[in-house]
Amino acid sequence: MAAKLIDRKFHNVPGRLRVAELFFDVPLNYTKPNEGTLRLFARSVRRLVTPVEPNTGNNDDKQLPWLVYLQGGPGFGCRPPQEIGWISTVLDKGYQVLFLDQRGTGLSSTITASTLARQGNAVKQAEYLKHFRADNIVRDCEAVRRCLTTDFPEDKRKWSVIGQSFGGFCITSYLSMFPEGLSEAFICGGLPPLVSDPDPVYARTYEKVLERNKAYYAKFPEDVDRVKQIVQYLKDNEVALPSGKLSPERFQQLGIAFGMHGGLDSIHDLVLRAWSDLDVLGFLTHPTLTSIDSHGGMDNNVIYAILHEAIYCQGQASNWSADRYRASNTNFHIDTTLPEILFTGEMVYKDMFDSYTELKQIKEAADILASTNDWPQLYDEAQLARNEVPVYAATYLDDMYVHFDHAQNTAAKIKGIKQFITNTMYHNAIRAKSDEVFQQLFAMREDTID
């Protein structure tokens, strides 16, 4: 079925872009389309063309091929297109680009504690949240595609997709469920583990987190004692943040940045600031606390916390996988007598639902989802094996979030995939090194590689 276009307004980014702000209605549950709708938001972008003859219009109806961007996450909306460093590169290739806020994120029926409360008790909230995984995200994409290409010739109704991280997971679901809607797919750091629960994922990603901790302390050996001092202070004092409280565990979770370009330095800056406060003043100042708070994000992106482990579930329960692993691995215990206090990575823990004010309100629903085992399949390996859609992937050997071994296992199961594999980029290369990434992706697309 096609999405219903509710509103479309155009504006210009001077000298650069022609942007349309689009709102659609789609079913909450595609198997029961009459039982409620969601409002989706997207921005479409094309080159701003100022015609020589003003009366010729702005060419808004020109049927350029679509490229849809699927954001990483889960739980994050898209940034405005003028903040996207690679937008000019893609527009120069002749596409018009659609930045779709995935359901529950950005302006697309945003999920928060207060919006969830409208659904009723925790059981009803959990049932509602089951509709916000990759399978329904790609159903939304198909519904929007059918809406936007209604007037296109039949042979031009397919569109291209590009996904970063979790966006690549969504694309792999798209290839499994609706390959007939795709003309090509680009995946950046997002070949998903083909697993039924998160346990095998964390068995490998904790290894990469350990490597990044070693790299951090090798670069900043002075932070070994500084981190211990900060953690001891947090153990001895109740420290409030704008979004909740700064527990030792929440400070430990800053390591989620370690897998990004510049991540080690950004966390060192926070450690340096916090240690300096304690050394000079004996307490953490407001600028320090707000800086630390800004590195969390769970309060503004609750889907990330509440559904993060569920993105790996197919017929199995997650049972707080990352939490269980941390508890069983003494290396990651918060103990100042250990040689080093290790930071954690892209994992969600039970204590987050105590240290974030927003998450505390949906803790019961999170527990229900963690014990849910009837998650539907997200990937069809038989369909991937007979795939005919061109797929181009940028894969990072030292990815801390999507382990290289899992990515290669998946790549081996997608017929015809081409990969650019590198050990000189990290997970956020699409932002940090976009020129290099897109040069490689389009080189594979244009068959310029010998």
* Domain assignments of the chain as residue spans, ordered by start: 4-194+379-446, 198-371
Segments of the chain scoring below 70 in pLDDT: 51-61, 448-450
Q: What is the pLDDT of residue 230?
A: 98
- pLDDT of res. 60: 58
427 is catalytic: yes
Give tens-digit pLDDT for 78-90.
999 999 999 999 9
Helix (H) or strand (E) holding 276: helix 263-280
Among 131, 308, 406, 427, the active-site one is 427
Active-site entry in 108, 165, 176, 247: 165
Residue 395 CA to residue 393 CA, distance in Å, equals 6
Q: Between helices 321-328 and 199-219, what is the axis angle to 10°?
A: 60
8 A C-beta contact, residue 167 and residue 175? no
Closest CA to 198 of 303, 302, 317: 317
Position 411 scores a pLDDT of 98
CA 116/CA 426 separation, integer angstroms: 35
Question: Which one from 108, 399, 403, 434 is the annotated catalytic residue?
Answer: 399
Burial, 241: exposed, middle or buried (Cβ in 10 Å; 0-12, 13-18, 19+)?
buried
- Alpha-carbon radius of gyration of the chain: 22
What is the structure's pLDDT at 169?
98
For the stretch 116-135, pLDDT in tens is 999 999 999 999 999 999 99
Q: Give me the pLDDT at residue 17, please.
A: 94
Task: Give the Cβ contact number of residue 14 at 10 Å.
Answer: 7
- Give the tokens for residue 375: 């998650």
How far apart are alpha carbons 438 and 430 in whole angstroms? 8
Predicted confidence at residue 450, as pLDDT, reads 60
User: 3-state class of 406 per DSSP?
Assistant: helix
Q: Reply yes or no on whether 131 is catalytic.
A: no
- The pLDDT assigned to 59 comes to 54
CATH topology of domain 4-194+379-446: Rossmann fold (3.40.50)
Strand 391-396 and strand 182-188: pairing?
parallel
What was the pLDDT predicted at 1? Answer: 82
